[in-house]
Amino acid sequence: MNLNAMNLSSAWLRLRLALRRVNPLVAGILGCMFAGALLTGWLLGARDRLALEYEAARTQARAPAPAAPPAPPPTSDQNLSAFYAALGERRGVERQLKEVFALAARHGLSLRQGEYRSSYERNAKLATYQVNLPVKGSYTAIWQFVFDTLRALPHVSLDDVSFRRDSIGDPQVEARVRMTFYLAATPGVPR
């Protein structure tokens, strides 16, 4: 045998004899302490790596999001088409007026004879129908009626509202509501 092999064999024998002399309870405790030290070292390293990942995520979250490119503005033809699509139908103005009167009745308002004026804008290719309605009811009911009308008929504009009350204590208010209906001149007009 060579000298290295003998030294290794001798060292192995000494280790085995030393382990036989050690109390098994003490050996178990020392083994647990060694394993605990290894586990603690591993956990500390994992905690540091996790802290670095959290910090990187926080930094990324604080960074502003990349701005989406703005949508291109609509062309003039698209704007014109959207304008004409928003107009009401001229032939259905009577039905639309009935809807206005139904909304007034729903809010408990009394409508007297109104004034109606129709006109045609040749260059714009649209008709307007101006309605001036005398309304009587509570202040709140009149405003609810006006807002419900504008929601129900999006092609109608509110041009003017004026209020008059006979006496301060009177719960009823007289109002004049002026609206304009914007209508397509003829159905199916190329828009």
Question: Alpha-carbon distance 112 to 104, whole Å?
Answer: 11
Report the Cα–Cα distance between both ends of the chain, in Å, rounded: 107
8 A C-beta contact, residue 103 and residue 145: yes
Question: Alpha-carbon distance 14 to 8, whole Å?
Answer: 10
Amino acid at site 120: Y
Predicted TM-score (pTM) of the model is 0.58
Per-residue confidence in pLDDT tens, the chain, 191 aa: 566 777 778 888 887 787 777 777 877 888 899 899 999 999 999 999 999 999 998 888 888 888 888 888 889 888 888 888 888 888 888 898 899 999 999 999 988 778 989 998 888 888 999 999 999 998 899 999 999 999 999 999 999 999 888 888 777 889 999 999 999 876 554 44
